[in-house]
Each structure stands twice: as structure tokens, then as C-alpha cells.
Homo-oligomer: A and B are copies of this chain.
Amino acid sequence: MPEPAPSPKAASPPKPPSPKTARGEATRRAILDAAQRVIGAVGFNDASITAITREARVASGTFYIYFRSKEEVFEALVLDMGRSLRRALTAATEGAPDRLAAEKAGLRAFLAFVIAHPSLYRIIREALFVAPAVYRAYFQSFADGYREGLAAAAARGEIRPGDDETRAWMLIGISVTLGERYVVFGETRPVEELVEGAHAMILHGLTPGERP
């Protein structure tokens, strides 16, 4: 007759789950996909868990077998998207001859990705309000990669030396804002046109050419 209590009664957050069978794994995936569609469509706050489970065709209680809360699926979604985007960008830029070419290819790939996954784009944006820590980590990881890339390119003389930290964030800001043209503002011009316009500016800035 052992007497020690099994747990201190209030272990703050119980602990995360984890599927053990193939069926469970499939259900988890179905919920995650459904969450992406629903949250992408109506936003985090108007996406009820009931709506997500209905979309996933499971009972509402099933949700809590795999995620502890709406916030938790949301974070999983953001992480998922980070991975996908990173993969797409790496694929697009790894063959580039130099940093400037990579810059152009990266912007082009980013806009294509965003147009193909508008809901994920909105999800990332909303993360600032729903999961700030994840939002920061997401952008920080991009910025770190960018900064190192710029520093290396500057060292090789491929680009003008400068404040790499600031330039990294500027380039991120440019991409994100141009992506928003398509997802939020209904831009209709072809991607290539924006890419050309943006790349010219990235290459030379605003200063008029040396000679009139």
C-alpha cells in the first residue's frame, strides 16, 4: 500500500502529447492541415476549435489529444511554414553565382511562395499578436542568415560594405512588404515586373548615376 502521491497535483502545464500509432499520426496531420485552412481563412481569433475539428472531420475532443490549445496548433503552423519557406529559398538561391544574383532569385522565390501560400503568409503576420516569441524567433533566424550572407559577400567584394545588421532587416522588410502587395493589396502586375523594379533599387539605390 504505497502512499506517495502520484504527482504534485498542480504540475503547471500537464505535458505535451505525441501520437503512438499511424492512425494517430494521420489524425494529427489532418488537424494541423485543417487549422491552417481555417485560421488562414478567418484569422486566429475567429477560428474556433470546433470549426477546425469540423474541417478535419474529427470530434472536438480529439483536438486536445494532439494540441493543448489553439495557441499550440498555431505555433506548430508557424514553425511548419518557416521550414517550408526556408526550403524554398534555399533551393532557389543555391545555384546563384554571386550575392546579388542570389538576392534577386530569393526575392522572386519569396514572392512566388507567398502567392502560392497566402494563408500561411497571413498566419505569420498574425503571429506577432498570438505568439510573439515564435514570431521573433522566426524573423530573427532569417535575419541572422541574411546578415552573415551579406558580411561574407562584402568580404569577398561582391557588395558594397555597410551596416549588415541594418541591411539584413531592410531586405527582409522589402520582401515582406512586396509580398503583402499580392496577398493583402491585390497587386495584379506580374511578379517579374516588381522583381526587376525592386532589384534595380537594391543594386543602385536612389542616387542618380555618376554623370548626367
Residues of chain A whose beta carbon lies under 8 Å from any beta carbon of chain B: 1-7, 9, 33-34, 36-38, 40-45, 51, 55, 84, 99-100, 103, 116-120, 122, 125-126, 128-129, 132, 135-136, 139-140, 157-160, 162-163, 165-167, 169-170, 172-178, 181, 184-185, 193-194, 196-198, 200-210, 212
- Evaluate contact between B160 and A209: CB separation under 8 angstroms: yes
Which of A120, A128, A170 gathers most chain B CB within 10 Å?
Answer: A170
Q: How many copies does the complex hold?
A: 4
Whether A184 contacts B136 in the complex (CB less than 8 A), given A170-B198, A200-B163, A206-B100, comes out as yes
- Evaluate contact between A5 and B197: CB separation under 8 angstroms: no
CA distance A141 to B37 in the complex (A): 31
* Nearest neighbor of A183 in chain B, beta-carbon distance: B128
CB contacts (< 8 Å) of A160 on chain B: these are 204-209
